[in-house]
Amino acid sequence: MTKCECSEVHERRRVVLTGGPGAGKTALLELIRQSFCAHVKVLPEAASVIFGGGFPREDDDSCRRAAQRAIFHVQRELESTGDSHNPAIVLCDRGTVDGLAYWPGAADEFWTSLGTTIDAELGRYDGVIHLRTPALEQGYNHQNPLRTESAAVAAEVDARIASAWATHPRRFMVESSADFLDKAARALETLRQELPECCRHHVVPALQQRPVK
């Protein structure tokens, strides 16, 4: 994050960055850290915290349900930490609604097991930026060691995530393209528009001369 001269007290906005496996979230988050000021607070992905810490990742429905409940509660607590230190944007690497795409059962069962509702969870977020998963020919890969899905399964997951967030009033879909930097530029501009004017002047040097398509 770059230094910001802004000393305003911000009205915190919580924005989700989501998308299916291989959509480019990791690379985009690194560009965000390079380009935006410290008033954009980037949270870690709850699933990576959970599975990277050794939580069982098994294909049994009971284990999958347990994992999604754990991810949901860790996500909620991560978001609680994000509200400190006067952020303008709290950027969430996925949100609580994403768990619905991975739940092995009906949507109502998911929300009941967590003691909440889809409307309550959608209402936690001011905006949602969805990076679409690329097809195999557009560069889908397994560079992330926690990624286990094939290109076909990744596309299915991406579609389920899109369905889970479908009724959010401020969802922005960022389609894949042959050049990832074009996709990144569109996503970065979408995020920049969520910032208050006092924090909008930072740009990624690599994208400074690149038009947003």
Q: Given a cut of 70, is residue 140 above it in pLDDT?
A: no
Four-residue CA torsion sign, 50, 53, 55, 59 = positive
Going by pLDDT thresholds of 50, 70 and 90, the confidence category of residue 208 is low
The C-alpha atoms of residue 162 and residue 81 are separated, in whole angstroms, by: 27
Report the C-alpha gap between 191 and 183 in whole angstroms. Answer: 13
Determine what percent of the chain is predicted with pLDDT higher than 90: 68
Q: pLDDT digit string (tens) for 26-45?
A: 999 999 998 898 899 999 99
157-186 residue pLDDT tens: 999 999 999 999 999 999 998 888 999 999
Using CA atoms in the order 111, 117, 121, 122, what is the torsion angle rounded to 10 degrees? 120
Could you give the C-alpha distances from 2 to 91, 170, 192, 208, in angstroms and in order? 16, 27, 14, 15
Ordered by start, the domain boundaries in the chain are 13-204
Residue ranges in the chain assigned as alpha helix (H): 25-35, 46-52, 61-82, 99-102, 107-114, 118-122, 151-164, 180-194
Q: Look up the pTM and report it.
A: 0.88
What number of residues does the chain have? 213
Give me the CATH code for the 13-204 domain, please. Answer: 3.40.50.300
